[in-house]
Each structure stands twice: as structure tokens, then as C-alpha cells.
Chain A
């Protein structure tokens, strides 16, 4: 039995060391050789860069209090913000990042909010399934939907508001853009 415990301990120590080495590598020497963008010069170009890898810096203005799955960064013009979400190698964002300048490398994502999407969401709400925290491959996940619902107080009203926004835009859809993190580091 002692041998089993020793073997398990060795495996744990080795895996911890390996994960630390890779984390250290990604924190200290992440691939940040791309031209570094800022929120100010990128927010107007974000729609042209969907699916592309970018490196962007900004000040963290907010980290999600429920699970740390997203944060917002801003630049000199504080009315502009970009949403950053966690990625494969980033389990969550710590709340202590708020106020820090960070450099994020990630992929630009787009969610197309059209009538099909809203109809599906509406059906979920009507069927009472909106509280399920199930993910959507390219859409608002359950958590985001709950936030939108919480903000409006009524999910159906939120959906209706989005329909009105689509109509007012003159397009057949709205686009929501964000960056999914590959790695990041704090600047200060």
C-alpha cells in the first residue's frame, strides 16, 4: 500500500511540475510577436478579423463575478470595451486582474444574432429550459443568456428588444464580437 501511495505521489508531483513548466512558459514567454493592438485601434476593425489570431492590450475594467469566464478591457477611450473570454488553456480569470493592464493573445469570435437564433432561444425559454447551463457552440452560452435575462428581468422582453435592435439596424442580424484567449500576461 505504501508503494501505491508513493507511486501516486510521484505521478502527482511530476504532473504538477510539468503543468507549472508549461504555465510558466506561456506566462513568461507567450508568443506575443504579432503587432500589439489596443482597444482604441482595434474595436473598429474587429468585424474584419473574425477567426484571426490577434494580440491586444488594455486595462481590465471588470471580471465576471460568477466563475470568471470573461473580462472586459478598455483603452484610452474608456467608452470602448472588448470582451475577452477564457479558452482551452485558461480555466478562469482571477478577479484580482481588475485594474491591471494585460496583453491577450486570442482568436476573434463572432456570434450572429438573427431570427433563427432568437426563435431557438425563445423556444428554450418557453419550454422552461433556459435555466439549463448548456453551452452553445457559437452562441451565447447558458451563463450569458442568464445574464441577459437577469439584466432585463424578463427573457422574452430581452429577446423582443434584440428583435427591435435588428429591425432598427437595417440588417437581418446583429453581431456580437469577442476574443477567446489563447494566453495572456499582465503588463504591470
Chain B
């Protein structure tokens, strides 16, 4: 009787905690995949590069906003001017709302870098990295504790052959052994 009551409570708490932290699991799951592959892509932004040549570039001292806007238009670029400056004697950098153009004023070679915020991943990574700090630290700590609670209570949800005394024990063991193998190979 007492066992049944404890199991019932475990099921109730496991269920409700699972509901509350469903969103957090998705956030950390998605950003976990993104951050696992951080060397292969930028999870915050999509960045595209395009090269083109400018045939006529006026002298540095006459380059103004108007010329840059018409150059953008004549080059067929779908971008919007923000500001510009000269990082070097013969280099013009144009800042755009969508990125930047770097122009070698001697050769006329231009490099367009178009940047677009990657939806969803930008947001989930922001949270995963704990950039809000403050209250988010507490909530994400609570989530971490809840993961331990969910996994522990999950072991005792089902009785019998498929429970922790049967099939469940083997599967749990596999889940513990796999990370141990990686630790043995790569760390210990």
C-alpha cells in the first residue's frame, strides 16, 4: 500500500515536472546540437560572401554616402546603407543593415558579407549560454536539478519485467557505460 502511494506520487511529480520543463528540454536540446557543431557553422547568424568588381571608383576624398548608395544600386545588391569609413589608405568599408562591403579602392575588388540572424537558434543559444544571467541562472539551475529528478523518478515509473529490475536495468546500464567509455578513451 505504502509502495503504491510512493509510486503514485513519483508518477504525479514526474508528469508535472515534465510538463513544466518541456520547453526547457527543447531549448537545451536544440542549442545542444547547435553548440556541438560550433566548429562547422555559426548558430547565431547565416553569413554569405559574394565578390564583385567595381570598374570606376572615385578619389577617396569625394566618396560620400550618395556615391555609395548609387554604387550599391548599380551593382544590383539588395542591401541598405548604414555608414562607411576608411580602415586603410585604399580600403573603404561600407556598413549595411545586412552586413558590410569591403572595397579595395586600388583594384576595385569588393567583398560583400551578408549577415542574417538565424531564427530560433539565436534565441535558444542566448539562453543556453546563460547570457541573461540573474533570474535565468536560478531557473536554469532549477531545470538542471529537475533533469536529475526526472531521470531518477523515471527509473521507477514501471514495475515488472520492463521496469528497473528487468529490461530497464540493462538499458540504464548501457546509458551509463557509453559516457564512461568516452571518458576512458579521451580523459582518463
Contact = CB atoms under 8 A, between A and B. Distances in A.
A98 B45 contact: no
B44 A99 contact: no
B contacts with A: majority SS: strand
A74 B88 CA distance: 12
A96 interface: yes
Contacts of B47: 65
A175 interface: no
Interface stretch (B54-62, B69-77, B128-136): B128-136
A98 B99 CA distance: 8
Given A61-B93, A78-B88, A91-B132, A99 B126 contact: no
Interface residues of B, number: 27
B133 A88 contact: yes
A95 interface: yes
A contacts with B: majority SS: loop
Contacts of A99: 82-84, 95-96, 100
A67 B132 CA distance: 13
B97 interface: yes
Interface string B111-139: 00001010000000110010111010000
B126 A92 contact: yes
Contacts of B82: 98-100
Nearest to B97: A96
A4 to B, nearest CB: 10
A44 B115 CA distance: 34
Nearest to B86: A78
Contacts of B117: 95
25 contacts: A15-B135, A59-B83, A59-B85, A65-B42, A65-B44, A66-B38, A67-B44, A67-B125, A67-B129, A74-B87, A78-B85, A91-B126, A91-B132, A91-B133, A92-B126, A95-B45, A95-B117, A96-B97, A98-B95, A98-B100, A99-B83, A99-B100, A100-B82, A100-B83, A188-B83
Given A59-B83, A78-B87, A100-B83, 10 more contacts: A65-B42, A66-B38, A66-B42, A66-B44, A67-B129, A74-B85, A91-B126, A92-B131, A99-B96, A100-B95
